[in-house]
Structure 1
Amino acid sequence: MIKMMHQFNKTIDYLESTFTSEVDFKKFQNISGYSYPLFSRIFSILSEITLAEYLRNRKLTLSVDDLLNTDQKVIDIALKYNYDSADAFSFAFKKFHGNSPSEVRKGKNYKLFPKMKLALKVIGGSQMNIKIETKPSFKVAGVLKENIDSNQCPSTWDELYSKYSFEQLESFGNGQSLGVCYENEGNDKINYMAGYNVLDDAKARNLGLDILEVKESEYAVFRLRDQSLIPFIRHGNICLKNFSRKMVTNIQVYQILKYIPKMIFMIPIMKWSFGYQL
């Protein structure tokens, strides 16, 4: 667990070091152990904010220091933080801070968005309940979209539910809905399936659904609760990545427990002679 937190925090350190340059995706994967899109999904689950939003808020926070403590022009600060123009930077700045760069420079209020670190306790005082579990192999049948951006995943669910009823989707398995994503080699796109657990392959194929098999693997299992998960109770997400030529899986399963949404988040791990590594 300590190793996982260290790895996560080192990845955030690296991303923050690239605010005025570009991310080296090979170096990023060496540090994090994940592709960029897969880490982004893990980040959003653990932090309840997207990675893109976090990085944008951090840049806009740091830009205040440039405004208040240097005489740099707004266009120079904009370019420093990889904005295409002063207008684009000013628009994002005012949306976040509530005041324009020139107004903040003159003494108006601004916001601070602190650097994030993963710790043993999440904000709000809730302990992260984590244990190691081995999960048997299983199959998922659904609609598969290839080479897409991760923000297109919800539309895959829309397509699935527009073509099939809940009764049809629950008829060939145990009724558990799952999302499956795995990255493409050499780019930041993903392949994504919206589907349901399969026990009867033939029945799923007769409906015209694609089928994926998730191999048995060992996971670090997090159990979290979050009221914001209510809209997503109908389905979970599984993220697959190719690591050392083995298909491994990040799993998120949403359930209702006494009217409170419960999320089970599973991260694949490799067992070393001295412990576990994510």
Structure 2
Amino acid sequence: MNGASREALASARERLDALTDNTAVDAALLAEELAAVTALLDREVSLRRVLTDPSQAGEAKAELAGRLLGSQVGGETVDLVSGMVRSRWSRSRDLTDALEELAYSADLTAAQRTGDLDDVEDELFRFGRIVASSSELRSALTDARADATAKAGLLRSLLGGRANPVTERLVVRLVAQPRGRSLEAGLDALTKLAANRRGRMVAVVTSAVPISDSQRERLGAALAGIYGRQVHLNLDVDPEVLGGMQVRIGDEVINGTIADRLEEATRRMAG
């Protein structure tokens, strides 16, 4: 997002945080309702365009949203969506992208309230590793011809009782409503969103063998010193790295593996 949409999303995030600071608000229900509104506006493109039309008064758009949603969702959701349509959006799709992010954030808030946010973050990463290692599972979950209900059922059979309920809800929603995004990109975005709730970065650490707790603590402290903020480590094991480790933070990669050094040496010899 850029321009007006970025400002509108920042305001919406602030309103969501203010709303969910009140523990009387059911964050999980709020997430479900925001996801339903996202799906509605994805289907009803003309309605989405009306609600983001810059030539229409913000209050008129808010009143329209209230009339349409008032009997379908709770008051907190209506107030939040009404505030969002009062804002100016650079593209109509930006509104639904923002609603989707708020839905995910509300579910993560529910996990944070119960002290389960770390578990959810780790489970999202682990599920991504499972999908990456199984082409059959990935195909089943991303097949556009497959019924969304069937895919949701498959996920519940895999995750039910094994993962936190918030993790299950997030993954089911991501698979059922991919919105043109790959499963890998969606899981990565969810992991980063979970980390951002604690004001920390995410590092994917790949090593030839599992690292010890003391190594994990030292690495976390070193990265926190480099980046000036807490860094959450997602650990992966890949024997092909041939020793050492690779650390990926966003688009930045820190390579310290034997395989990487061998590859570099090969390139230099070829040159």
Structure 2 length as normaliser, TM-score? 0.25
Which of the two has greater strand per residue? 1
Which of the two has greater helix per residue? 2
Structure 1 length as normaliser, TM-score? 0.25
